[in-house]
């Protein structure tokens, strides 16, 4: 659990200086290349001198056919600067400019740049992630950002309503400010995005059958849903509510399943409220008095029968 402790400490101590490795950016971004043509990209938590996001986009500026790239550096105490790269008839140019403010993503100046941007791509400070993603949604921006997987708990309603989804990879190792040491955070991060990707249209293969042995799928004491312990065990023949591990969202396809909600007390959407049968311990599903891990409650969607309406 060393990785877990490290990430937790980083968050608690507001030590937000975990730098993303170029290989992790390349591994994820290869799935999104077609989104960038003619677009302005903003990396708003990125010292261009050190950020591999700047590195990736500046090196691939032509290949991605970008219109403009902007990175702002945050300085806790003093006015900071931005680096801009853009293309015109004479070629690709770049320029460094001082900012009046300190590059805080919430500053007026950064918000002006945000309004100009089409897509925001970065790894923002872990401690401010909730505020950070709320700002992106408020300004209706396209984004691809790294966050702690626990953010899924409060982002689940947004995932339910199709406002964002989870990317392909989980960056496992980040560089520390000294530039040479790294911290492992295995399995604890996710890419969050609202850019369309193939993965979210692919069905999860289902082969288990509920009716072969219903005792394998008991109902919770406090939710009107059956418990499924592993994504691989989701039955193909059960049409009502099922509680599945949160990792289900890594492969969620909204054409295959509907998300009812999450066993997270703050999820008060009417669909999940309807299947809550006890107001205590709303944050977990309980089986015979025993608390399970938090669960996403889902239901299979009816697929239109291809043979229907055929004459």
Ligand X SMILES: C[S@@+](CC[C@H](N)C(=O)[O-])C[C@H]1O[C@@H](n2cnc3c(N)ncnc32)[C@H](O)[C@@H]1O
Q: Does 45 bind ligand X (CB under 6 A)?
A: yes
Give the binding range for ligand X (CB under 6 A) out of 49-57, 222-230, 257-265, 282-290: 49-57
Measure the CA–CA gap between 50 and 45, rounded to whole angstroms: 11
| CA separation, residue 232 to residues 43, 49, 204 (Å) | 37, 44, 9
Residue 249 CA from chain centroid, whole number: 10
Report residue 143 as tokens. Answer: 């984004």
Q: Does 170 bind ligand X (CB under 6 A)?
A: no
Q: Does 46 bind ligand X (CB under 6 A)?
A: yes
C-beta of 122 vs 222, nearer to ligand X: 122
Q: Does 109 bind ligand X (CB under 6 A)?
A: no
Q: Does 122 bind ligand X (CB under 6 A)?
A: yes
Q: Does 263 bind ligand X (CB under 6 A)?
A: no
C-beta of 25 vs 155, nearer to ligand X: 25
Nearest by Cα to 249 from 181, 175, 154, 173: 154
Q: Does 104 bind ligand X (CB under 6 A)?
A: yes
SS3 of residue 94 by DSSP? strand
C-beta of 131 vs 273, nearer to ligand X: 131
Count of CB atoms situated within 10 Å of the CB of 309:
7
Q: Does 123 bind ligand X (CB under 6 A)?
A: yes
Residues 8-37 that bind ligand X (CB under 6 A): 16-20
Measure the CA–CA gap between 66 and 39, rounded to whole angstroms: 5
Strands, E assignment, 123-193: 142-148, 165-166, 173-175, 182-184, 189-193
Q: Does 125 bind ligand X (CB under 6 A)?
A: yes
| Axis-axis angle for helices 108-116, 129-138 (nearest 10) | 50
Size of the site for ligand X (CB under 6 A): 20
Q: Does 143 bind ligand X (CB under 6 A)?
A: no
Strands 40-43 and 68-72: parallel
Give the binding range for ligand X (CB under 6 A) out of 117-125, 188-196, 229-237, 250-258: 117-125
Q: Does 51 bind ligand X (CB under 6 A)?
A: yes
C-beta of 19 vs 36, nearer to ligand X: 19
Cβ 244 to ligand X shortest distance, Å = 30
Whether 265 contacts 281, CB under 8 Å: no
Cβ 115 to ligand X shortest distance, Å = 16
Nearest by Cα to 123 from 151, 149, 144, 150: 144
- List interacting residues with ligand X (CB under 6 A): 16-20, 45-46, 51-53, 74, 103-105, 122-126, 128
């Amino acid at each position: 659990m060393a990785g877990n402790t490290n990430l937790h400490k980083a968050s608690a101590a507001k030590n937000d200086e975990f730098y993303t490795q170029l290989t992790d950016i390349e591994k994820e971004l290869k799935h999104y290349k077609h989104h960038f043509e003619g677009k302005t990209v903003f990396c708003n938590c990125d010292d261009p001198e050190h950020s591999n996001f700047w590195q990736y986009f500046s090196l691939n500026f032509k290949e991605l056919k970008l219109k403009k790239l902007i990175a702002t550096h945050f300085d806790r105490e003093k006015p900071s600067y931005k680096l801009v790269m853009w293309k015109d008839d004479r070629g690709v140019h770049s320029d460094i400019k001082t900012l009046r403010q300190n590059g805080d993503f919430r500053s007026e100046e950064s918000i002006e740049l945000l309004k100009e941007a089409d897509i925001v791509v970065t790894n923002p400070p872990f401690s401010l992630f909730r505020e950070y993603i709320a700002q992106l949604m408020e300004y209706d921006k396209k984004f691809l950002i790294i966050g702690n997987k626990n953010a899924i708990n409060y982002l689940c309603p947004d995932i339910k309503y199709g406002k964002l989804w989870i990317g392909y990879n989980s960056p496992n190792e980040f560089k520390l400010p000294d530039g040479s040491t790294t911290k492992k955070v295995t399995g604890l991060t996710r890419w969050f995005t609202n850019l369309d990707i193939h993965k979210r249209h692919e069905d999860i293969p289902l082969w288990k059958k509920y009716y072969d042995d219903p005792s394998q799928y008991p109902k919770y004491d406090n939710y009107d849903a059956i418990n499924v312990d592993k994504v691989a065990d989701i039955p193909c023949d059960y049409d009502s509510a099922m509680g599945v591990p949160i990792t289900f969202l890594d492969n969620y396809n909204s054409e295959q399943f509907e998300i009812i909600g999450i066993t997270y007390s703050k999820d008060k959407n009417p669909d999940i409220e309807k299947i809550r049968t006890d107001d205590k311990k709303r944050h977990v599903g309980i089986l015979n008095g025993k608390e399970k891990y938090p669960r996403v409650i889902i239901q299979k969607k009816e697929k239109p029968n291809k043979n229907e309406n055929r004459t």
